[in-house]
């Protein structure tokens, strides 16, 4: 299996621009998670889906952040408008079900100038 696939690997944008991060979970996995990693706050869960349905979005920092999972093989995390404090590594992860081993993608390094 190819693992969790994220794109792009790096994104540099200017403040105010819209940013869209993409994720393809491992085939057959029913749970998908978006995490953000910063030096100050470590790894934080933003939102997770089970069977394509958002279950908990309490970690989404502001209304500028939104996530969708239109089907079992694709999810997006959108930031609009972006701000410099959004700069971080964003990870997508998936698991077979809600209480199984979690597998991470390679992450997207986002820099907002």
Q: Which is nearer to another protein, 35 or 65 (CB)?
A: 35
What's the rounded Cα separation, in Å, for the pair 54 and 33?
10
Kindly state whether residue 74 participates in binding another protein, applying the rule CB under 8 A. Answer: no
Cα 44 from chain centroid?
11
φ, ψ for residue 49 (rounded to 5)?
-115, 145
* 14 scored as a contact of another protein (CB under 8 A): no
Interface with another protein in residues 38-67 (CB under 8 A): 42-45, 48, 56
Is 90 a binder of another protein (CB under 8 A)?
no
Q: How many residues bind another protein (CB under 8 A)?
A: 22
Closest CA to 21 of 71, 67, 64: 67
Q: Residue 81 or 111: which CB sits closer to another protein? A: 111
Structure-token match 């998670």, residue found: 33
Is residue 34 a contact point for another protein (CB under 8 A)?
no
């Amino acid at each position: 299996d190819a693992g969790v696939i994220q794109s792009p690997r790096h994104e540099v944008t200017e403040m105010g621009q819209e940013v869209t991060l993409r994720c393809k979970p491992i085939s057959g996995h029913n749970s998908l998670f978006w995490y953000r990693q910063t030096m100050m706050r470590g790894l934080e869960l933003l939102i997770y889906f089970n069977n394509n349905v958002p279950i908990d979005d309490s970690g989404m920092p502001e209304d500028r952040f939104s996530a969708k999972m239109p089907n079992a093989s694709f999810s997006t995390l959108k930031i609009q408008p972006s701000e410099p404090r959004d700069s971080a590594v964003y990870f997508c992860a998936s698991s077979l079900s809600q209480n199984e081993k979690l597998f991470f993608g390679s992450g997207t390094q986002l820099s907002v100038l």
